[in-house]
Amino acid sequence: MRGDYRKRFLEETVFDPVFGRQMRFVIGPRQCGKTTMAREKLAEGKMPELYFNWDSAEVKRKYRREGSLIPKTRAAEKKWVCFDEIHKMPKWKNVLKGIFDTREDEYNFIVTGSARLDILRKAGDSLAGRYFVFRLSPFILAEMTQNRTEYLRPESNPLDFVHKNLPEKKGAQKHMESLIMHGGFPEPLFKGEERFSRMWNEEYFERIIREDMRDLSAVHYLEKAVDLAKILPGKVGAPLSVESLVRDLEINHRTVKRYLKHLGLNFLIFELCPYVNTVKARRLNKKMTKVYFYNYSVIQDEAARFENYIAVELKARVDLWNSGGAGKFDLYYIRNREKKETDFLITNNDRPYLLLEAKISGVPVESHHRYFSGALGGIPFVQLVKKKVDVREDAGRFFTAPASRFFG
């Protein structure tokens, strides 16, 4: 392992032998570290030559010439091989199926890619039963502090989960500030230069829209998609009004919805729905989603950027828990007809698990958060603060804590 390599929590799950012969499809935002993680695994096994980037003309020529890329082996232990960007190969599913079916006794397969890999695999899936899908997020705080995986794992009792994440971690506040400034994508994060981050973000934004969205979908008016993506950072933290976007962009409702969908499919944004259930006293508004960016450093407003940072931290955990088989976790927000909100609700198997709110400073817990906690079965509520404040606990289930302690 390279001295400068930071281990990702997803590695323990992706490379766990419990998943058997199945190929590991690793998807996630462009440039979040998928290829680096895979190549590090090959380097550990002293087989770096088993990385194949199918975007390379040389790799494609070799496959067409030889009909295979990987050598025969009689090793007692199966080696890992990585196919990166194989979805750019014509009839890639048939190619991958043919290689896997003939070589699965010799090799374990990791397949990395972006949104197209996730979407294209679903249409007429000839690979059914041969793979599991795992989602890699940008870096989260616990990966920066190099905390142990056990602190991320959920507990059956959410209060136990809260308590185990409250101890202070060395350097966590500084790492969190760096994440909030530069985002969780490896290159700008570890470069740590504000001017570089600004240029990188602009180029990243444009490439996803002008290359990935164009290749993936029938988005005919790319300039409108660019305009939409530039408007959305100002909408973070509030329920999204599609009607407002229709007026701003001067395109129809259906087109706006389609563009939002494809921004999500390309891992530029993700949306959270309001939690809805038929339990009495819920009275929740079902209409509007909230939108968040994987790259939250594009958001100018301090409070909105911090809330978006919290959203990415929570989504990363939910994805990790689901990938590891810990349960069926989902992330929502709470909003009632009086427009009172709690920023985040985690559910497990459709049951409310934990409420969380993002705050810049340590203000008292507001009454509607207490109401929602009671209405949802007395689940814990955690108010996560950007500033370094003292941990406070009230009535055994209401907490205020620095976000750097809870996530570090």
DSSP code of residue 19: G
Question: How far, in Å, CA of 226 to CA of 206, rounded?
Answer: 7
Show the tokens assigned to 177: 């500030």
Q: Which amino acid is at 83?
A: F
Between the alpha carbon of residue 318 and those of residues 10, 186, 254, 327, the distances in Å are 12, 21, 30, 9
Q: What is the pLDDT of residue 220?
A: 62
Name 23's Cβ contacts closer than 8 Å, sequence gap at least 6: 96, 100, 109, 110, 111, 127, 130, 131, 132
Query: Is 133 buried (19+), middle (13-18) or exposed (0-12) by CB count in 10 A?
Result: middle
Q: What is the pLDDT of residue 304?
A: 98
200, part of any domain: yes
Region of 123 (left: φ > 0; alpha: ψ -120 to 50; beta: rest) is beta
82, part of any domain: yes
Unique residue bearing structure tokens 């990385």: 51
Q: Are residues 112 and 175 in the same domain?
A: no
215, part of any domain: yes
Q: Are residues 99 and 195 in the same domain?
A: no
User: What are 108-123's pLDDT values in tens digits?
Assistant: 999 998 766 666 555 5
Helix (H) or strand (E) holding 205: helix 194-207
Helix (H) or strand (E) holding 385: strand 381-385
53, part of any domain: yes
Q: Are residues 161 and 115 in the same domain?
A: no
Domain boundary among 80, 114, 135: 135
Question: How far, in Å, CA of 380 to CA of 390, rounded?
Answer: 18
Contact between 59 and 52 (Cβ < 8 Å):
yes
Domain boundary among 107, 135, 163: 135
Q: Which residues does the chain have with pLDDT short of 50?
A: 279-285
CATH code of 52's domain: 3.40.50.300
Q: Are residues 193 and 116 in the same domain?
A: no
Q: Are residues 119 and 180 in the same domain?
A: no
378, part of any domain: yes
Q: Which amino acid is at 261?
A: K
157, part of any domain: yes
Spell out the SS3 assignment of 278-306. CCCCCCECCCCCEEEECCHHHCCCHHHHH
Between the alpha carbon of residue 395 and those of residues 290, 385, 398, the distances in Å are 30, 19, 6
Q: Are residues 97 and 154 in the same domain?
A: no
Between the alpha carbon of residue 260 and those of residues 37, 83, 184, 293, 330, the distances in Å are 29, 29, 22, 12, 20
Name 388's Cβ contacts closer than 8 Å, sequence gap at least 6: 173, 402, 404
DSSP code of residue 26: E
Domain boundary among 135, 153, 184: 135
Q: Are residues 366 and 219 in the same domain?
A: yes
Q: What is the DSSP string of 98-138?
A: HHHHHHTTTEEEEEE--HHHHHHTTTT-TTTTSEEEEEPPS
User: What are 33-73's pLDDT values in tens digits?
Assistant: 999 999 999 999 999 999 999 989 999 999 989 888 898 88
Pairing mode of beta strands 290-293, 131-135: unpaired
Q: Are residues 252 and 289 in the same domain?
A: yes
DSSP code of residue 183: -
Q: What is the pLDDT of residue 122?
A: 59
375, part of any domain: yes
Spell out the SS3 assignment of 224-272. HHHHHHHHHHHHCCCCCCHHHHHHHHCCCHHHHHHHHHHHHHCCCEEEE
Q: Which of 148, 88, 222 is nearest to 408 (CA)?
A: 148
Question: How far, in Å, CA of 123 to CA of 126, rounded?
Answer: 9
Show the tokens assigned to 30: 């462009």
Q: What is the pLDDT of residue 127?
A: 86
- In terms of residue numbers, what domain contains 187? 141-407
Q: Are residues 185 and 56 in the same domain?
A: no
Contact between 338 and 347 (Cβ < 8 Å):
no
Unique residue bearing structure tokens 């809330």: 307
- Count the domains in the chain: 2
Q: Are residues 162 and 49 in the same domain?
A: no
119, part of any domain: yes
Q: Are residues 131 and 146 in the same domain?
A: no
Binning the chain into helix, strand and coil, the percentages to the nearest 5 are 45, 20, 40
Show the tokens assigned to 299: 């958001």
Q: Are residues 343 and 239 in the same domain?
A: yes
